[in-house]
C-alpha cells in the first residue's frame, strides 16, 4: 500500500522528520505539498494520523498499483462539494428564512432527518419567492470549491466522464453542466408558476437511493463498471452512492460520511483526488 500525504504546510523538512521517525526509505514528492510513501508498517499508522492532524494534512492509503486511468467516471455531489455553498440556504436568505433553512440542511446532512421530509419542509418555506432570486444566487454567491476546476480539467483530459448528482436543484446543475461541460447531471426541479416558486418539487426527489441509482444508470449507459468509478460527497445523502463506487472520497464532510469513506479530505481541495495517483 502507498501512503499519500497532502496539505499546504507539508514542507520537505517536516516530511524528513516524519520519515526518520517511522523508518521508511521509499518515498517521493510527485507534486508540491504532496508526498507518496511506500512500505509504511501498520504499527506506524497512529503516528501518521497524529502527524497529519498536527500539520493540517490529509492522509490516505491507496493500492500502489492504482492509477487515475483505472477510473472512467467521477460522480460528485454539488452543494458544499463541487461548489462552496448550500444553494437552498442562500435562496432562503432572499425570503428571510436562511437561519431556519440552514439548520434543517445541516441536520439532514448529518443524517439526523429524513431527507425527503427535510427537503419538502425547506422548499415549502420558499413559497412566493421570485424566480429571479435563483439567478442572483447563481451569479453572486455560487463559487466552485477549491481545486474543482483543476480536477475537472484533468478528468476531461483523461477522457473520464463526470456526473453531478444533487439533492439540490436543476436550476444550478443545468447551468454548471453547460459551463463546465459535464457529462451527466441529476437534481430536483423546483416548481415555478408565473415567475414565482410554489414551494413544491416536481417529480421524484433526488435522495440517497436516487443518487445511487443515477450512478448505476450512468455506468450502464457508458459501459462502465461501478469499480471504475469515484464518488465524492459530504453528506449522509451521498453515502449509498459512495458505497457503490470503486473509490469513495469524503470532501470536508460530516463525521458519519468520513467514517464510511475510503478517503477523507479535511484540508485538501477537490484536486486532492488527482494527488492520490
| Helices (H), ranges, the chain | 12-22, 45-54, 87-93, 98-109, 115-124, 132-140, 148-157, 170-180, 208-222, 239-244, 255-260
**77 among known catalytic residues:** yes
Question: Of 46, 58, 79, 93, which residue is the catalytic one?
Answer: 79
Query: For residues 212 and 68, what is the distance between their CA atoms, to the nearest angstrom?
Result: 22
- Distance between CA atoms of residues 208 and 239, nearest Å: 7
8 A C-beta contact, residue 89 and residue 169: no
Confirm whether 79 is a catalytic residue: yes
CA–CA distance, 268 with 277 (Å, rounded to integer): 15
27: number of CA atoms within 13 Å, CB side?
21
User: Other C-beta atoms within 10 Å of 107: how many?
Assistant: 13
The total of other beta-carbon atoms located within 10 Å of residue 25's CB is 8
Q: At what angle do helices 45-54 and 12-22 cross, to 10 degrees?
A: 160
Residue in 58, 77, 89, 271 annotated catalytic: 77
The residues pairing with 75 across neighbouring beta strands, listed in sequence order, are 163, 231
Question: What is the spatial order of strands in the sheet that 2-6 belongs to?
Answer: 27-31, 34-38, 2-6, 58-62
What percentage of the chain's residues is helix, strand, coil (to nearest 5)?
Answer: 45, 25, 30
Query: Which residue carries 517536516 as its cell?
Result: 14
Q: Which residues are catalytic?
A: 77, 79
Amino acid at each position: 500500500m502507498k501512503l499519500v500525504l497532502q496539505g499546504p504546510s507539508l514542507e520537505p523538512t517536516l516530511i524528513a522528520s516524519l520519515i526518520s521517525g517511522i523508518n521508511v526509505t521509499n518515498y517521493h514528492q510527485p507534486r508540491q505539498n504532496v508526498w507518496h510513501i511506500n512500505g509504511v508498517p501498520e504499527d506506524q499508522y497512529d503516528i501518521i494520523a497524529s502527524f497529519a492532524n498536527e500539520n493540517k494534512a490529509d492522509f490516505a492509503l491507496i493500492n500502489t498499483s492504482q492509477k487515475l486511468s483505472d477510473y472512467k467516471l467521477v460522480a460528485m455531489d454539488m452543494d458544499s462539494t463541487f461548489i462552496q455553498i448550500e444553494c437552498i440556504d442562500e435562496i432562503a436568505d432572499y425570503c428571510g428564512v436562511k437561519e431556519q433553512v440552514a439548520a434543517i440542511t445541516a441536520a439532514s446532512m448529518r443524517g439526523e432527518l429524513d431527507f425527503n421530509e427535510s427537503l419538502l419542509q425547506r422548499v415549502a418555506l420558499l413559497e412566493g419567492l421570485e424566480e429571479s432570486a435563483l439567478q442572483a444566487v447563481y451569479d453572486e454567491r455560487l463559487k466552485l470549491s477549491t481545486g474543482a476546476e483543476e480536477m475537472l480539467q484533468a478528468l476531461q483530459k483523461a477522457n473520464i466522464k463526470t456526473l453531478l448528482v444533487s439533492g439540490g436543484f436543476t436550476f444550478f446543475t443545468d447551468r454548471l453542466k453547460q459551463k463546465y461541460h459535464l457529462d451527466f447531471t441529476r437534481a430536483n426541479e423546483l416548481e415555478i408558476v408565473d415567475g414565482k416558486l410554489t414551494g413544491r418539487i416536481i417529480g421524484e426527489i433526488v435522495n440517497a437511493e436516487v443518487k445511487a441509482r443515477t450512478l448505476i444508470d450512468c455506468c450502464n449507459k457508458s459501459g462502465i463498471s461501478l469499480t471504475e468509478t469515484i464518488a465524492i460527497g459530504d453528506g449522509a445523502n451521498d453515502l449509498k452512492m459512495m458505497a457503490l463506487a470503486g473509490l469513495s472520497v469524503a470532501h470536508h464532510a460530516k463525521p458519519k460520511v468520513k467514517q464510511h469513506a475510503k478517503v477523507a479530505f479535511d484540508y485538501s481541495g477537490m484536486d486532492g483526488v488527482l494527488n492520490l495517483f
